Structure 1
Amino acid sequence: MMVYDAAATARALPWAPLVHAIERTLLDLAQGQVQAPERWVLPLATDTSWFLMPAWLSASAGDLAAIKLITYAAANPERGLPAILGDVLVVRASTGERLALLDGPTVTARRTAAVTLYAAHRLAPRPVGPLLVIGTGVQALAHVAAFTEALGVDEVWVSGRTPASGRAFTQTLHQHGLFAEVATDLDAALQRCPMIVTCTPAQAVCLRGTVRDDAFVAAIGAFTPAMIELDPALTRDIAERGQVVIDSAAARHEAGDLIAAGLTLTDCATLAEQPARQDRGPVLFKSCGSALWDLAAARCVAESPRLPTF
């Protein structure tokens, strides 16, 4: 069994192959070749939960299974620890042979950003930036990397929880050779940026106002009914002017942003339903996460020449 640390896991999940693996997994799902039970969330301690997320391919589609076992502790950054800790185990489905052990936080960051990237390719009216990112954590960095490396976005505006966190994040981006500035006026940033990503701890609304007609808003941080990032009035406005797409069917009862806005979630198409880009209005892509995306990451790694062939 190959064991990948965080750096090796990142190298094994380049954007283009990972997006392709996501697309293939969605096609296999539509053909009944994928099983992905809804995740189990078990309380371990106060404000700390254990997530168990299995998914697998039929033998004809790839004979592959993956299970992610991670803990999520929202207060961990204050302790000097990552909010997400854990692993993804990749096995051959027919035999149970262990193929790889991947770093869970790295898989989560890269596959989440890659799903957003896939959605932007399909749905964004103007997928060229500038990009406004709200949040300064791991997911924010992964999304900036995905949008700049894979979409060619060359201008990034940052809104952090505090001015200091925003400045520190822009300095990190500068070290990667990117143009980045702190967005001190969010209303102005919304008018400048057609690409917007919210990736905060989702403990309070972080985005309100009015987005452009050609905006693509990816709301990443909220993944339970009690979590929220978007002002409900903003969510309703996008739904009325454009379209709302969710990453998976489970988001219909997990997406706090959409629930708070009172949307009829059965009207929201999933990525598996292959929604088409509309010819007018903004797009809201609501991502709550799914074992489907971990399985796609496992496919990406399993097809590497470093692992035994199937």
Structure 2
Amino acid sequence: MTAFTPRTLSPQQTADALPYAALTREIERLLQDPSVHVPARLVQPLQGGGSLFVMPAADARVAMTKLITFIAQNAQQGLPTIQGDIVVFDVATGQRVALMDGPTVTARRTAAVSLLAAQKLAPRKEGPLLIVGAGVQGLSHLEAFHEGLGVKEVWIASRSAASADALVGHAERLGMKARRVDDPNAALAECPLVITTTPAQQVVMTARPRDDAFVSAVGAFTPRMVEWSADVCQHVASTGMLVVDTRDADHEAGDFLQAGLDVAAWPTLSDVVCQTPMWQAAAQRHAARTGPVFFKSCGWGGWDLAAARCVAAHKPS
């Protein structure tokens, strides 16, 4: 019997196996796959304020476990805030198929989820796009929305002018029109597409988005984290529509929970994709309103399983 050699993918090889268009399609397919099983993730607090995340998931063909750490203060030391790996297994044989770079998967699948939500929900998809936070997630969302929505203009806001300028330069090399803005709240009036990818250690966004805006709030993924003020979240809940990535957001969506909102009353991305009665009722309510669409992304092992499915099907060149 020939020995099976699993693939160990570098960050670049992981990215190459996860083009945004293919990954977004795989995420949509996964949300319609009844064989997918994703138990609640384990979050182990670490001394000093960090966290260890253990996130397993499986379907009829592929199983995976994600092991990553999140250390928010690493950004101040020039270190990655997210580190770790994803192990992919073949369900039929139990063989390890691949070892993927965890931060690369996290960045790309999170941006692909935002992209899918924008494709389904954004009233105006042409932009300009405002990205608040010029780190890894800012970069991945810039690329995903450029490739997947055809966005041609982006505005970048960051606490670090150097980081914002670097992302502006990257956008320009992609052929986009790009600019740095120092006040993201003032920029909301000009941008119908908004992505917030801040460290979410404090409220950054206090102004209200445009009535025709689509917002994807990515930074806060625990009950204690927050990017958007309670006033803005309450305003959107009363005038627009809230959508969460999964039902795990019911106890993880810090922006909404700290605003006192009943997160369980709002549909998930799966509801949107599968056109469930909950989504249809929410869409009908929203049709009578004038406010923006606010998508809250908290993360889920299923998104990593979608990436694992892409990698399992990807044939290296």
**Where on the TM-score scale, by shorter chain, does this alignment land: which range?**
over 0.9
Contact preservation (8 Å) 1:218, 1:285: yes
Q: Does 1:263 align with 2:268?
A: no
RMSD: 1.6
Match of 1:294 among 285, 290, 304: 304
2:3 alignment partner in structure 1:
none
Structure 2 matches for 1:132-211, cutoff 5 A?
132-211=130-209
Q: Is the 8 A contact 2:186 2:207 kept in 1?
A: no
Gap regions ≥5 residues in structure 2: 1-5, 273-278
Q: Which runs of 5+ in 1 are unaligned?
A: none
Cα distance in 2 for partners of 1:18, 1:41 equals 25
In the other structure, the counterpart of 1:49 is: 51
Deviation at 1:187, TM superposition (A): 4.3
* 1:101 equivalent among 76, 94, 99: 99
Matches of 1:301 and 1:183, distance apart in 2: 37
The 1:168–1:52 alpha-carbon spacing in structure 2 relative to 1, beyond 3 Å, is: same
C-alpha deviation, 1:212, in angstroms: 1.0
Output aligned runs, 1:277-288, within 5 Å: 278-279=286-287, 280-288=290-298
Question: Pick from 102, 108, 111: which aligns with 2:109?
Answer: 111
Q: What pairs up with 1:1-80 in 2 under 5 angstroms?
A: 1-28=6-33, 31=34, 33-58=35-60, 63-80=61-78
Q: How many matched pairs? A: 300
Query: 5 Å matches for 1:210-249?
Result: 210-249=208-247
Residue identity matched to 2:128: P
2:101 & 2:180 partners in 1: Cα distance?
31
Code of the aligned partner of 2:54: L
**What secondary structure does 1:235 align onto?**
helix
Query: Helix, strand or coil: the match of 1:19?
Result: helix
State whether residues 202 and 229 of structure 1, in contact with CA within 8 Å, keep that contact through their aligned partners in structure 2. Answer: yes
TM-score (norm 1): 0.93
Q: Deviations over 1:154-187 (max 9, x none)?
A: 1111110143433333233334433211123434
Cα distance between partner residues in 1 of 2:114 and 2:127: 14
> Contact 2:158 / 2:182 at 8 angstroms: preserved in 1?
no
TM-score using structure 2 length: 0.91
Task: Note closer, same or farther for the CA distance 1:164–1:305 as it changes in structure 2 (3 Å cut).
Answer: closer
Alpha-carbon distance in structure 1 between the residues aligned to 2:44 and 2:93 = 28
> Contact 2:135–2:163 at 8 Å: present in 1 too?
no
Structure 1 equivalent of residue 314 of structure 2: 304
Q: Determine the C-alpha separation between the residues in 2 that align with 1:187 and 1:206.
A: 8
* TM-fit CA distance, 1:268: 1.3
C-alpha distance in 2 between matches for 1:185 and 1:257: 20
Look up the SS of the partner of 1:37 in the other structure: coil
Q: Give the match for residue 252 of structure 2.
A: 254
Once structures 1 and 2 are overlaid, which stretch shifts more, 240-249 or 204-213? Answer: 204-213
Equivalent in the alignment of 2:127:
129
The one-letter code sitting in structure 2 at the alignment partner of 1:273 is D
Tell me, in whole angstroms, the C-alpha distance in 2 between the residues paired with 1:149 and 1:173: 12
CA distance in 2, matches of 1:26, 1:151: 21
Q: Contact between 1:134 and 1:206, CA under 8 Å: does it hold in 2?
A: no
Partner Cα separation in structure 1 for residue 76 and residue 187 of structure 2: 29
Choose 288-297 or 201-210, whichever is displaced more: 201-210
Residues 211-251 of structure 1, C-alpha deviation per residue, up to 9 Å, x if partnerless? Answer: 11110010000000000000110111111111100001111
Instruction: State the identity %.
Output: 49
